[in-house]
Amino acid sequence: MHYTTTLTTLRSRLTFWYIISTITIFALLAILFSLLLWVTLHNQIDHHIHIVTGQAQQVVADFQAKERQKLLSNLVGFEGMSIVIISQAGKVLLESHSPDVAALNTSELLQIYEASQKYTYHPIHFTSNSMRFGIVEVTDGGVPALLAVGYSVTILRQTFYQMMSIVLGVMVITLLPFTFVGHRLLKKYLYPLEAIAKTVQQVTQPKQLSMRITGLAVTEELKTIVTSFNTMLSQLEKIFHTEHEFFSQAAHTLKTPLAVLRAKVEGLTKESRKNKQAMLQMIDAAGETIQDLLLISRIETGSENLVKRINLSTTARKLVELAEELAQEKQAIVTNTIQNSIFFTTDESLLKRALGNVVHNALEYVDKHGSVHVALQQEKGRIIFMVTNTGVSVSDKELPHLFDRFYRGTNSQQNKHGSGLGLAITKAVVEKYGGQIKFRSLKAATQVTVIFKEST
């Protein structure tokens, strides 16, 4: 249904169903009341007709000529009334009605006569066209006749509609405060859940794990949720803090022996220059890995925060220039479509490192004489950085692990350089600034897309 696409919050859905249920209850009450009102009015009219019929019967029995006519006219002085006396032969002996009621037509007179023949009990009540009749047998001058007293159904309906209008008006007036009070109560009792949801949304970085939900007047069920959530945040904070300390201590512990080892290798005289260079490269690679681990740890814990507004278009063009130089080794072609004057608030060195990793990866795995395309554009409130390179595509099995630390896919076996942390660093930086990174494996090509929301 359509409402499921628009009512996305718990409060809006509960408010919607509260209003629907309240309206439904009021509608059912209105229908029930209308039925009772109609039956009551109907019975009241029959009772009124019964009384007037009895009085008219008494007048016919006790009075003659003009006095009878006058008294019967008085009985139908009320709005919507009619009296008629019909002989057994169907001839109208006397007729009187209020000014707002027309004289009975032949069809109505015939129905009065047929009803007297059909039913044996008296008085007889039935409806004909727009009149409700009561019929009794009388004697007019010793001759049997039928006395019919009618009441306009139109009057009955008008009375019913007027009363229902009043009732519906009262219901509508009552429904508004009911809806307002219900909405306020829902807002009050859903506030703790909304506070929890808001806190969850704010916890996007490890440094925000110190946040806690406090000061909420909640039920026992919500109190359990709040306690569990705060406990979870405490445990996560402790885990991240322990991990950060581990990386920092391990890195500083390893730096010294690596520096000593490098100095000793450089001091070797018997080793060939080639062997020394290979050992130094391995030591430098280990040092770079340590530095990368420290960088990821600082990014995730929020230590890096030197943000400013930069021209992202200029940064992307510098990356393209660097890529063109590196692409010469594989005789690859580097093309670009970079939109001018795209600005973004970020740590420039971090973002340059993150986007540079994506471009560098594309150059590492592009096939010989292949192509790399770098694109940067701004559309619909988003900044999109996209790098596409030709070459062997990545399997579906490997896609979910590309941003894992130290993961090296099948294609990476041809590339022995790097620590396996490049894309992990990129992902950490992108997510730090509220972005997302996507990896697509195309036919004989690979595409990496980084998306940020526009910053003010």
Delimit the domains of the chain by residue range. 12-158, 220-301, 308-453
Query: Each residue of 284-311: pLDDT tens digit?
Result: 666 666 666 666 666 666 655 677 888 9
Rounded CA gap, 413 and 240, in Å?
32
Residues 385/375, Cβ–Cβ less than 8 Å:
yes
Query: Each residue of 198-222: pLDDT tens digit?
Result: 777 777 666 667 777 776 656 777 7
Buried/exposed code over 54-89 (b: 16+ C-beta within 10 A; e: otherwise): eebbebbeeeeeeebeebbeebbeeebbbbbbbeee
Query: Each residue of 16-68: pLDDT tens digit?
Result: 888 888 888 888 988 999 999 989 988 888 888 888 888 888 888 888 778 88
pLDDT band at 420 (very low <50, low <70, confident <90, very high): low
Same fold, 220-301 and 308-453: no
pTM of the complete model: 0.47
Query: Each residue of 179-191: pLDDT tens digit?
Result: 888 878 887 777 7
Query: Each residue of 355-411: pLDDT tens digit?
Result: 988 898 888 888 888 999 999 999 888 999 999 998 877 777 777 777 776 666 655
Fold exhibited by the domain 220-301: Helix Hairpins (1.10.287)
The single residue listed with the structure tokens 């039920």 is 219
The predicted pLDDT at position 246 comes to 67
- The answer regarding whether domain 308-453 maps to CATH 3.30.565.10 reads yes
Fold exhibited by the domain 12-158: Beta-Lactamase (3.30.450)
The predicted pLDDT at position 441 comes to 83
